[in-house]
Structure formats: structure tokens, C-alpha cells
Copies of this chain bind each other. A is one copy, B any other.
């Protein structure tokens, strides 16, 4: 294993120190328990939004803390859920009196811990709601999940819910739009290579020299099928079919699309994937009104990509386009 770390144990904290050094104008990093909040927290009378999950998916979630998106993020150890006390401390740090929304990716540990944190915070008099993201069409249940896994739609939900909160919507309204994004979002991922967690020091799974995993999870969990590596055109067609047929997306729909790198995929390849995907969607009469192309929800150094498509109402598109200023996503300011 070759990684730019000091050791497996300190990697997450060492990285948080880098976030603190780089983005002190935007965020504050708290330690023991570890969490990231906006530099000026809490924002009084605004609904606050936090998310969290295992580390190793950067920039998710810490990179999305800032104006117009998250108020806080709880990084667990690599691919390990943060603890309820992290979530509780973060929730308390961001609550400005209008309540807090927890955006939770559907993994058993995350869901359980966020539920415990919600109870702890509600006992302390804070209004908390939760939306569980479960957008991965690859498999029904998996190694870490009951039901569908939560993947790329999380990024889009955090952006849109964040803009709604910034616009002054109340907790019920922010929760509702976040839930709507999840209900209208679908994703699928593929891997060309495995990731290596620092603790394990070896690939999470083995792939043959000409194989790829179709429907990969963001922790290297198995997908639908192991298939031969071939031209990207055929692959994207298969990915697009899996995603577009699931909601289903129909002619005339407006969408937000993300072509996401898993961490080790060159940008030149992600743009090829985007080109193939948009061509398929155009043929079907599905309009792309917003897009992200790059590394947004990663799996350490895994090679591969995921595509996410969200059917977006006019309200969602307006919130998507609203200003955002975080370490990893910035526009309009």
C-alpha cells in the first residue's frame, strides 16, 4: 500500500487539519469528537443541515460545508460511520433555533447512529428531522445496507436542501424538498479497480485484468455483475438504461446530472462518459438542466465512475442554481 499518509490511525485527523488550514475562512474544524461546521455557526433562525458518514469519500461531506449547502459534517473513520456523539455535538453546534435536518446515506451503521443522535438532540429540545438517501439502483440489499444504498443523489440533495434552508424555508419544507430530490434521484456506479483502505492495506476486492464491477458500491461492495471491460459507449448505455428505466425518466423531464469519478479516474474519461450519457438522454428527449462532472463522492483511489440523474422540478432547478460557497462547490459568489 502506497498512500500519502503518516499512518492509518491518524489519516482522518491529519486531513482535517489540512481542511482547517486551507478553509478557515469558510469552516471551523472541531476535534474529539471530530466535526466540521461553518466558520460562523450557528446561523440564527435558519434551518441547519448536517450530514456525515465514513471518510474516504471526499469531498463528501466536509467539502460541502458552507453558505448555501451544509452547516456541518461528521467524518467517521475511513468507510466507518461517525458515532452518535459526533452527530449530537455537530447538531448542537449548528442549531440556530429553527431545527436541524440530518441527511443520511442509507447504510445500516449511519442510519442507526443518526437515529440515536436524533433522539439525543430531541431530548435536549432541538427539532431534528432526517432524510435517508437511497438512490443506488444497483442492488436491493447489500453488504452494509437494507434497501438501496445512498450514493450520488446525496450531493444534489445537500445542494438543493441547503439552498432551501438559505432561502428561509422551515424545517418541514427543507425536509420535504430534500426528500423529493431523493425520490427523484437514481444512480449507478462501476469500478475498474478496487480501493485500498489504509487499515486493510490491500485491495478490498480483486478484479481481473479485463474485468469491471457493474453496480459497485462506494466502499467496494459488490454490484450486480462482473463484466468484461469494453468500449465506454456500451458501458454508459448499460448504466443509463439501469438509471433511466428505474424512476422511470420520461420524455420532457428536466434533470440534473452528475458524472462522478470514484477518485482515481482521469477527468478526460469523465467527460467522455458525460458526452455518451447526454447523447442517450437527448435521444430520449430528457433535458439536462444542471450538471456536475468531477470527483464529488469518491471511494479513495478507486478507478471508475458513477452517474446520477435527478428529475428536477422548476423549484429544484432554481435552488440548484442558487449561490453556493463551500470548499468543493462554489458558484454565484
* Chain A contact residues, CB within 8 Å of chain B: 2-7, 11-12, 14-22, 55-56, 58-59, 63, 192-193, 209-210, 212, 229, 231-233, 235, 263-276, 278-279, 291, 293, 295, 298, 300-301, 303, 305, 330-333
Contacts and interface: CB of A to CB of B under 8 A. Distances in A.
Nearest to A211: B2
Contacts of A267: 58-59, 63, 263, 295, 298
Contacts of A193: 2
B331 A275 contact: no
A310 to B, nearest CB: 16
A293 B22 CA distance: 8
Given A6-B232, A233-B6, A266-B58, A15 B301 contact: no
Contacts of A58: 266-268, 271
Contact of A278 (B5, B21, B212): B21
Report the copy number of this chain in the oligomer: 2
23 contacts: A2-B210, A2-B229, A3-B192, A3-B269, A4-B270, A6-B231, A14-B276, A15-B268, A15-B275, A17-B271, A18-B272, A18-B273, A18-B278, A22-B278, A22-B293, A56-B266, A59-B267, A263-B264, A263-B267, A264-B264, A267-B295, A301-B303, A330-B330
* Residue among A192, A265, A267, A305 with the highest chain B CB neighbour number at 10 A: A267
A321 to B, nearest CB: 12
Contacts of A55: 268
A2 B226 CA distance: 14
A4 B268 CA distance: 9
Contacts of A300: 266, 268
* Residue among A4, A269, A305 with the highest chain B CB neighbour number at 10 A: A4
A4 B261 CA distance: 11
A252 to B, nearest CB: 19
Given A2-B192, A2-B193, A4-B270, 10 more contacts: A4-B305, A5-B232, A5-B269, A14-B275, A15-B269, A15-B275, A18-B271, A18-B293, A59-B267, A264-B303
A232 B295 contact: no
Contact of A22 (B268, B291, B295): B291
Contacts of A276: 14
Contacts of A305: 4
A5 B303 CA distance: 13
A4 B232 contact: yes
A107 to B, nearest CB: 18
Given A18-B274, A293-B22, A268 B330 contact: no
A274 B22 contact: yes
A37 B128 CA distance: 48
